[in-house]
Amino acid sequence: GIDVHNKIRAYALQDKGLDTVEANLSLGFAPDLRDYGIGAQILADLGLHTIRLLTNNPKKVIGLEGYGLKVLETLPIITSPNPYNRHYLEIKQKKLGHLLQIPNTAEKRRE
């Protein structure tokens, strides 16, 4: 990732109106710098070589498989957006490709 210091700087930029991707880019980082190697190694050391993965992030599957794990199945993390996280989740979906089921605001009003 971008380390704690830079994550705090990114949060400050988000407080000024940038989204999570824009904040990372403005600090000179890629939108998502996470590396799954250490996690994959821990799982392998525990004897796990095939897994079912809870995630909405298809890049996480690619990252783990790149380190030799076999992802048999992905299970989505189901969450309901609220006024505090809706924009963040929409950005994750639109800009980072996360697989989220987010009803649009018009649909939400009809419910």
pLDDT computed for residue 80 by the predictor: 87
Quick: pLDDT tens for 53-67.
999 999 999 999 999
pLDDT computed for residue 105 by the predictor: 57
The span from the CA of 29 to the CA of 32, in Å, is 8
Q: Are residues 28 and 46 in the same domain?
A: no
Weakly modelled stretches of the chain, pLDDT under 70: 105-111
Q: Which domain holds residue 41?
A: 37-77
Q: Are residues 72 and 84 in the same domain?
A: no
Domains identified in the chain, total number: 3
Q: Are residues 28 and 42 in the same domain?
A: no
Q: Are residues 22 and 5 in the same domain?
A: yes
Query: Is the CA virtual torsion 79, 81, 85, 88 positive or negative?
Result: positive
97: left (phi over 0), alpha (psi -120 to 50) or beta: left
* Residues known to be catalytic: 32, 34
pLDDT computed for residue 1 by the predictor: 77
